[in-house]
Structure 1
């Protein structure tokens, strides 16, 4: 909720309408040594229901189609949709002892990673070029 002012000697009456809440795109993808799985574009904001639906109806079937589900370790951060009880229960069933994140079976204190860890941002950095090619 900010007012935007433009000051100009050339056109003191200049006005520009700016959309206050522009549309957003929420995207999710997974990487491993041989595959880029995704991207998956959420319809609207991500909550625990939409995240769980994506895991159940898209991500796990993608892993099964590639034949790599039993070899995958899933690493998540601690955002609320990832930490929801329904999501953790699904991950415990689908990836028993093979998912890392807040509330996971593999999160004793020595294995936790610090905030802004390069382990979490590497995917973000390497994926943007790939996503830009798909979107454009």
Structure 2
């Protein structure tokens, strides 16, 4: 009979999501994503859209958007229909 002993150690159970936007004239951000209790949370589609509306768009006040491009990766929160619709409504 073989006896196997395992030692399980949690190295880290914390996480942080920080959002930035980069452009030729600077950086917009940082936005550390937290819940109402101040705990770091994972960004889902709803939280991403909330960040766009309540953080990103207000940061663009006074900036000429005609020569800007918004580029994202292909994560589900970026490509969700509700997110695409919000971006079209906001920037078209």
Question: What TM-score bracket applies, with the shorter chain setting the length?
Answer: 0.7 to 0.9
Q: C-alpha distance in 1, partners of 2:15/2:78?
A: 20
Q: How many Å apart are 1:54 and its aligned residue?
A: 0.3
User: What's the TM-score once normalised by structure 1's chain length?
Assistant: 0.53
- Please tell me the root mean square deviation across aligned C-alpha atoms, in Å: 1.9
The aligned residue for residue 53 of structure 2 is: 56
Report the equivalent of 1:46: 43
Post-superposition shift, 1:84? 1.1
Q: TM-score, normalised by structure 2?
A: 0.76
Classify the secondary structure of the residue corresponding to 1:71. coil
Unaligned runs of 5+ residues in structure 2 are 1-5, 35-40
Q: Displacement, 1:21?
A: 5.3
Aligned residues: 81
Any stretches of 5+ residues in structure 1 without a counterpart? 6-17, 97-136
Q: Which has the larger Rg?
A: 1
* CA positional deviation for 1:22: 1.2
In the alignment, does 2:73 pair up with 1:82? no
1:125-136 paired onto structure 2 within 5 Å: none
Using the TM superposition, give the Cα deviation of residue 72 of structure 1 relative to its aligned residue in structure 2, in angstroms: 2.2
Give the corresponding residue for 1:36. 27
Give 2:13's match in structure 1, choosing from 22, 45, 50.
22
